[in-house]
């Protein structure tokens, strides 16, 4: 009898009927019963208001909480904020913090590996979007060894233990209670309970699917993640996914001030209120280095076309050599900073810190100027 391959095991994985029923029935109700009720009876203003409020808060619970706080530990949160994010994230019905984070950490570690990445885009849009949850695939098994830190978090541990109670109370009890208060129980349940849940689900699922196949790759092409402004708008900032996969410890996904990153703004607002500390950012030099590296790749492809003058290629190689020298200088500066040691820093803290900061700024400016020269070079090539 021939051995069964892992691919065959995944193909014949048992159906997860509970998840399939919940996702299928809520989606079916959202596209049939909800619009029918709206046309025949109409939804109250209160129902629409709470629908909008909870759609956004659930998205923040997942993006700012499940994703950036617990999965990647990009900042420290006050216990009050943790409880709020755990409550709103749990209401989105995407499993507990611990289970969600375990799978997400494996996704980052094994991204695009069809046998290990729980929602690898290499297995197609449908699989990455929702199919990976409909069967008990080996790649989706929860590895609790990667979330030992979260098991020690009292909020995450409590939510994991009482997840079922939280789900029922927020997705059934809360909408019905709000409906009772406003005199529109069925309408509130359909809009806030069902439609809100389906919207929240697929907004998150788009990150696993569309964000790995639609958009640009300005920072790395070593994985399938993409940056897309429209996707960022509807996913509260998570659509800047190419950046996130390379700099996953950064609390931001959209790093420009104008980037549509609601979760970044929410975390920053909480920091102003004293609810967030120790926000992590990727060093500006590393970000520029990654971007320039991709621009050099694009420039080489453009200059390799037939009919392009060799002098343009020579100029590009001179620019690249300078880029490499700048990287080496930055690495040397990093080593010097480490070797300075705590004792010397204690003795000459102000002068040493100012010196390092000045040299770092010079290197960053060097990359910025090279970015402008590279853009000018590629624009001149016909």
**Total tally of structural domains belonging to the chain:** 2
Is 246 found in the same domain as 125?
yes
DSSP 72-136: T--SEE-HHHHHHHHHHHHHT-S--HHHHHHHHHHHHHTTT-TTT-TT-GGG-HHIIIIIHHHB-
Which of 277, 304, 335 represents a domain boundary (last residue)? Answer: 277
Name the pLDDT band for 1 (thresholds 50, 70, 90). Answer: very low
Is 161 found in the same domain as 38?
yes
> Is residue 263, in this structure, part of any structural domain at all?
yes
Is 297 found in the same domain as 252?
no
Which tens digit of pLDDT belongs to each residue from 94-121? 999 999 999 999 999 999 999 999 999 9
Residues 336, 247, 62, 44: is their CA dihedral positive or negative? Answer: positive
Whether the per-residue pLDDT at 3 is higher than 50: the answer is: no
Residue 69 lies in domain: 6-277
Q: Which long-range contacts (CB under 8 A, 24 or more apart) does 297-300 make?
A: 297/221, 298/378, 299/374, 299/377, 299/378
pLDDT value, residue 213:
96
Is 248 found in the same domain as 207?
yes
Is 154 found in the same domain as 272?
yes
Which tens digit of pLDDT belongs to each residue from 276-309? 999 999 999 899 999 989 988 888 888 887 667 7
Is 122 found in the same domain as 19?
yes
Is 238 found in the same domain as 334?
no
DSSP 249-261: TSS-SS-STTS--
pLDDT value, residue 355:
62
| Contact predicate 380/333, CB 8 Å | no
| Contact predicate 71/149, CB 8 Å | no
Which of 246, 277, 308 represents a domain boundary (last residue)? Answer: 277
Give residue 183's region: left, alpha or beta (phi > 0; psi -120 to 50). Answer: left
Is 160 found in the same domain as 121?
yes
> Is residue 1, in this structure, part of any structural domain at all?
no
Whether the per-residue pLDDT at 382 is higher than 60: the answer is: no
Which tens digit of pLDDT belongs to each residue from 11-32? 688 999 999 999 999 999 999 9
Whether the per-residue pLDDT at 173 is higher than 80: the answer is: yes
Is 371 found in the same domain as 351?
yes
Q: Report the chain's terminal Cα–Cα distance, integer Å.
A: 61
Helices (H), the chain: 6-11, 17-31, 33-40, 45-60, 79-91, 97-109, 125-126, 132-134, 148-151, 154-161, 163-168, 174-182, 185-188, 196-208, 229-234, 241-246, 262-272, 284-303, 310-347, 349-380
pLDDT value, residue 351:
53
380 versus 268: which is more confidently predicted? Answer: 268
CA distance 284 to 278: 17
């Amino acid at each position: 009898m021939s051995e069964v391959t892992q691919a065959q095991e995944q193909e014949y994985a048992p159906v997860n009927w509970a998840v399939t029923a919940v996702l299928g029935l809520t989606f079916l109700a959202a596209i049939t019963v909800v619009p029918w009720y709206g046309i025949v009876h109409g939804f109250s203003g209160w129902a629409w208001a709470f629908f909008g409020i909870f759609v956004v808060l659930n998205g923040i619970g997942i993006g700012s909480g499940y994703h950036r706080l617990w999965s990647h530990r990009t900042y420290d949160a006050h216990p009050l904020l943790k409880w709020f994010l755990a409550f709103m994230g749990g209401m989105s019905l995407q499993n507990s913090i611990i289970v969600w984070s375990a799978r997400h950490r494996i996704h980052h570690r094994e991204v695009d590996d069809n046998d290990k990445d729980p929602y690898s885009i290499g297995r197609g849009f449908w699989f990455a979007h929702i199919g990976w949850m409909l069967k008990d695939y080996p790649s989706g098994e929860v590895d609790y060894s990667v979330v030992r830190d979260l098991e020690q978090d009292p909020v995450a541990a409590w939510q994991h233990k009482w997840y079922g109670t939280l789900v029922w109370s927020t997705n059934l009890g809360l909408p019905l209670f709000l409906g009772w208060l406003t005199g529109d129980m069925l309408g509130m349940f359909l809009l806030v309970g069902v439609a809100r849940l389906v919207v929240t689900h697929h907004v998150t699922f788009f990150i696993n699917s569309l964000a790995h196949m639609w958009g640009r790759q300005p920072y790395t092409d070593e994985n399938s993640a993409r940056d897309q402004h429209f996707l960022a708008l509807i996913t509260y900032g998570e659509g800047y996914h190419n950046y996130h996969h390379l700099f996953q410890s950064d609390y931001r996904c959209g790093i420009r001030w104008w980037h549509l990153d609601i979760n970044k703004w929410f975390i920053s607002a909480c920091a102003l209120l004293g609810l967030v500390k120790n926000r992590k950012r990727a060093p500006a030099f590393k970000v520029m280095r990654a971007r320039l590296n991709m621009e050099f790749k694009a420039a080489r492809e453009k200059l390799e076309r037939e009919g392009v003058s060799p002098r343009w290629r020579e100029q590009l190689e001179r620019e690249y050599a300078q880029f490499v020298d700048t990287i080496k200088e930055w690495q040397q500066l990093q080593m010097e900073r480490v070797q300075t040691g705590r004792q010397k820093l204690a003795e000459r803290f102000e002068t040493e810190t100012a010196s390092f900061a000045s040299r770092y700024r010079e290197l960053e400016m060097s990359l910025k100027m090279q970015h402008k020269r590279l853009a000018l070079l590629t624009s001149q090539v016909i």
